[in-house]
Structure formats: structure tokens, C-alpha cells
């Protein structure tokens, strides 16, 4: 693969990014239906210069998805190049290797160097990889108020089959058992409170 055809990643620089203090990386994980997307959306509204990492994936774009906004869409060959050259903070095979997804390293490091707060949303395996690749990251686990509430939320979405729900619940049970590995656990029993707790991770004045 030539350098001309290989995808590169970049971060838009804000006019406010004049600080020389290095930014802080927060890694957010938690089970399906715990409310990560809603919490992240609120946090992004409250912190205008937050860099929210965009994942790179080998799957095809879905209707309405925009390259560079929702995901970076690349070929399997490009993705393998990123692995071989340590250009991903974490990555995983999905659906038995039919597709791959990961977190580009360069945009995260660039945003941190600019002093910006950085948020990465990943699964448990991804959080563990980032712990290894960037030991200074703060790992945050978003937990449900109870197992029963998580089940109700997942079933209530009505977007998955029974088989998918059972797989997600099995994964959720594993994730909940691993929450002690994280630096901080936020229980999402009140949205405003959960958002405030996550924002406090950056110690923004």
C-alpha cells in the first residue's frame, strides 16, 4: 500500500487550544443499554473543546453515516497497516473477524498535546488495551443502578432479537465483574449526576 492511498487521521485545532499543559485522556466503558451514548452527548455539549475519538472500522457505512464524523471507513488492508505500525490504541475483530474496529492513536495524542480534554468510548477489552498502551489514561466504568434495571433497558429498546439480547447480557455480566479494574465507577441512576461526575474527571476550571 502506498503512502498516497493510505488514510491519515487529523484533529481540528480550536482557537482556544493555546495551553502548553497536556490534556487528560478519559476512557469510558460500560455494558450495552447503560446509557453511554446519552451521557457522552451531554458531556460533549458541556465541554466545547472536548475531543471525542472517532473509531476506524472496516465495515461499510450505513445510511446517514459520514466518514470522519461517525467512523473512519477504511479497507482491511489499511486496517492491517495501522496494526502493524502501532497506529491504534486498541482494536478488535468483530463478528468472528468479518470486520475490525479500533481507536486511532494519532488524533488522540495530537489532542492531548494541544491540552484538550479527550474522551474515548470503548468496550472492556478496548479499555484494557488502552490501559496498557497509555498508562496515564483514566478508566471510567458507567454502571447501571441494578442488574434488573439494565435488563429492562436492554429488552425495552426493542431493537434486538432474543439471541442478541442474551449475548449482550452475558457480555454485560462479564463487564460488571470487571468494574474494579477501573479507576472510577459512575452509577447512571441520575443523568445529570452521571454527566457531572464524568465532567469532573478532567478537573476543568
pLDDT in tens, 81-99: 999 999 999 999 987 778 9
Q: What is the pLDDT of residue 4?
A: 42
pLDDT surpassing 70 at residue 142 = yes
pTM: 0.87
- Tell me 34's DSSP state: S
- The mean pLDDT value of the chain amounts to 91
Q: What is the pLDDT of residue 115?
A: 95
**Quick check: is 2 in a domain?**
no
Say whether both 126 and 193 belong to one domain. yes
CATH code assigned at 75: 3.30.63.10
pLDDT confidence tier of residue 205, bands split at 50, 70 and 90:
low
Say whether both 68 and 122 belong to one domain. no
Enclosing domain of residue 149: 24-50+117-204
Residues at the annotated binding site for ATP?
A: 30-37
**Quick check: is 89 in a domain?**
yes
pLDDT confidence tier of residue 54, bands split at 50, 70 and 90:
very high
Residue 71: strand, helix, or coil: strand
Say whether both 41 and 127 belong to one domain. yes
Residue 186: strand, helix, or coil: strand
- Tell me 67's DSSP state: B
Number of C-beta neighbours around residue 75 at 10 A: 13
Q: What is the pLDDT of residue 12?
A: 58
Residue 75: strand, helix, or coil: coil
Give the CA angle between residues 49, 53, 54 to the nearest 5°. 125
- Spatial distance between the Cα atoms of 122 and 29, rounded to a whole number of angstroms: 5
Q: What is the pLDDT of residue 65?
A: 96
Say whether both 130 and 110 belong to one domain. no
Residue 73 β-bridge partners:
57
**Quick check: is 139 in a domain?**
yes
Q: What is the helix (H) or strand (E) element at residue 107, kind and residue range?
A: helix 105-113
Residues at the annotated binding site?
A: 30-37
| Rounded (10°) angle between helices 36-46 and 191-199 | 60
Amino acid at each position: 500500500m502506498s503512502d498516497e492511498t493510505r488514510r491519515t487521521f487529523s484533529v481540528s485545532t480550536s482557537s482556544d487550544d493555546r495551553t502548553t499543559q497536556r490534556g487528560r485522556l478519559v476512557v469510558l466503558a460500560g455494558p450495552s443499554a447503560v446509557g453511554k451514548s446519552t451521557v457522552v452527548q451531554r458531556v460533549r455539549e458541556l465541554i466545547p473543546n472536548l475531543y471525542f475519538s472517532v473509531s476506524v472500522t472496516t465495515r461499510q457505512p450505513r445510511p446517514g453515516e459520514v466518514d470522519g464524523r461517525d467512523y473512519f471507513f477504511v479497507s482491511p488492508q489499511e486496517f492491517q497497516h495501522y496494526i502493524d505500525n502501532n497506529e491504534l490504541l486498541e482494536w478488535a475483530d468483530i463478528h468472528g473477524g468479518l470486520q475490525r474496529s479500533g481507536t486511532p492513536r494519532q488524533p488522540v495524542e495530537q489532542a492531548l498535546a494541544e491540552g484538550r480534554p479527550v474522551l474515548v468510548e470503548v468496550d472492556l477489552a478496548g479499555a484494557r488495551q488502552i490501559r496498557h498502551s497509555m498508562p496515564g489514561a483514566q478508566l471510567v466504568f458507567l454502571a447501571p443502578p441494578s442488574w434488573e434495571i439494565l435488563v429492562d433497558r436492554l429488552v425495552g429498546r426493542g431493537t434486538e432479537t432474543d439471541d442478541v439480547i442474551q449475548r449482550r447480557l452475558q457480555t454485560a455480566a462479564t463487564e460488571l465483574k470487571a468494574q474494579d479494574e477501573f479507576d472510577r465507577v459512575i452509577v447512571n441512576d441520575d443523568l445529570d449526576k452521571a454527566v457531572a461526575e464524568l465532567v469532573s474527571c478532567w478537573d476543568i476550571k
